[in-house]
């Protein structure tokens, strides 16, 4: 078992996307949407096999927030990280992603049925 795993999900709009999670199940990256399950899986396969990507810091409006983007070699955005308060922590995660993505497991969560219940709140 690797220290990273890809989890595949299905959006409410019937699109597919993946998340890259660390061993603590924290979300490190969330991908863009894909029109089909096959396209989503193919993107993961290419990331793992060919490693033809760049990780770069994205500019933020708030001075105390940092995040990084996973981009293809032609500059197309594939996935974005969550916001970080610490640039040091972000740099550590970039290093983990770079070194461990190839061995990451893949878990299909796209068929998970999500139930939403109505919540009553008092104001």
CATH number, position 61: 2.30.29.80
Query: Cβ of 28: how many Cβ atoms within 10 Å?
Result: 19
| Assigned domain for 115 exists | no
Q: How far apart are CA 111 and CA 50, in angstroms?
A: 28
Expressed as residue numbers, the domain containing 36 is 4-108
Say if 91 falls within a structural domain. Answer: yes
Q: Is there a domain that residue 46 lies in?
A: yes
Q: What is the mean pLDDT of residues 39-49?
A: 93
Q: Is the pLDDT of residue 41 over 60?
A: yes
Average pLDDT over residues 62-89: 87
pTM (predicted TM-score): 0.82
Residue 71 lies in a domain: yes
pLDDT in tens, 26-38: 999 999 999 999 9
Residue 123, domain member (yes or no): no
Could you tell me if 94 and 55 are in contact, meaning their C-beta atoms sit under 8 angstroms apart? yes
């Amino acid at each position: 078992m690797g220290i990273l795993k890809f989890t595949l999900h299905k959006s409410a709009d019937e699109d597919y996307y993946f998340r890259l999670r660390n061993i603590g199940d924290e979300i490190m990256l969330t991908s863009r949407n894909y029109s089909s399950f096959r396209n989503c899986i193919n993107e993961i396969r290419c990331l793992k096999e060919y490693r033809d990507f760049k990780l770069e810091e994205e500019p933020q409006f708030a001075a105390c927030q940092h995040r990084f983007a996973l981009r293809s070699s032609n500059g197309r955005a594939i996935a974005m990280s969550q916001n970080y308060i610490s640039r040091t922590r972000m740099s550590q995660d970039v290093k983990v992603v770079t070194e461990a993505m190839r061995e990451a497991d893949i878990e299909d969560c796209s068929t998970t049925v999500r139930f939403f219940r109505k919540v009553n709140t008092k104001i």
